[in-house]
Structure 1
Amino acid sequence: MLTVTEAAAEAITALTGQENGQDGGGLRFAMHSQQGDSPQLAVSVTPEPESGDKVLGADGGPKVFLEPEAAALLDDKVLDVQQDETGEVAFAVLPQAQPQPGS
């Protein structure tokens, strides 16, 4: 299942709190297109999940809505935020850390 870091959760809270002045929305991932071997995801802030979306997050906390194909693609990933050299913050989808042998 997609894991959301604390930093990403804070960013989602900030985004959804600003959207239309209402709380309770979430960050939605959906398949946009697939070019060659790399699938493209569309990310949007939305007030509620669409029919069939998988919902991650607790009541009152940040939520992530995953369209079924996006959920399958992100099943073994981590959602984080990264800051570039200009200070812009962007969401990043990273591989989950694999357990080390013998641990």
Structure 2
Amino acid sequence: MLAVTDNAVAVIRDLTGQQNLPDGAGVRIASDPTQGALTMSLATSPQEGDQVVDTSGARLFLDGEAARVLDDKSLDAAVDANGAVQFEVGEQLS
């Protein structure tokens, strides 16, 4: 299952809090077959079939392909000096 770092938890909770989203909202990661990539967006709730990853109140909703691709990965995040959020996917540390 996707591991979420403390930094990513803080960023996700901040993003969902700033947007005045309802309790239970999170970040959805979905596959984009036309681009051969994953996309991220804010979501009020998971879509049918999504895997829900809840880490200390930071919720991620993964569609089936994203869950498969990210199963053994770790999600980290940072905010730069201009306030731009950057997420990074890496290998899980044992």
- Check whether TM > 0.5: yes
The CA deviation string for residues 46-80 of structure 1, in whole angstroms up to 9 with x for no partner, is: 0000000000115x711110001100000010000
Alignment of 1:18-33 (within 5 A): 18-33=18-33
- TM-score relative to the length of structure 1: 0.78
CA contact (8 A) 1:8 1:80 kept: yes
Q: Radius of gyration: which is bigger? A: 1
Deviation for aligned residue 1:20: 3.4
After superposition, the Cα gap between the structure-2 partners of 1:43 and 1:62, relative to the gap in structure 1 and judged at 3 Å, is same
Instruction: Give the secondary-structure state (helix, strand or coil) at the position aligned to 2:17.
Output: helix
Match of 2:85 among 77, 82, 89: 89
Match of 1:43 among 40, 50, 69: 40
After superposition, the Cα gap between the structure-2 partners of 1:13 and 1:86, relative to the gap in structure 1 and judged at 3 Å, is closer
Q: For residue 70 of structure 2, what is the aligned residue in structure 1?
A: 74
Q: How many residues align?
A: 94
**Counterpart residue type for residue 28 of structure 2:** R
CA contact (8 A) 1:49 1:55 kept: yes
Structure 1: 5+ residue runs without aligned partners? none
Instruction: Give the secondary-structure state (helix, strand or coil) at the position aligned to 1:50.
Output: coil
- Pairwise CA RMSD of aligned residues? 2.1
Instruction: Give the secondary-structure state (helix, strand or coil) at the position aligned to 1:49.
Output: coil
- TM-score relative to the length of structure 2: 0.85
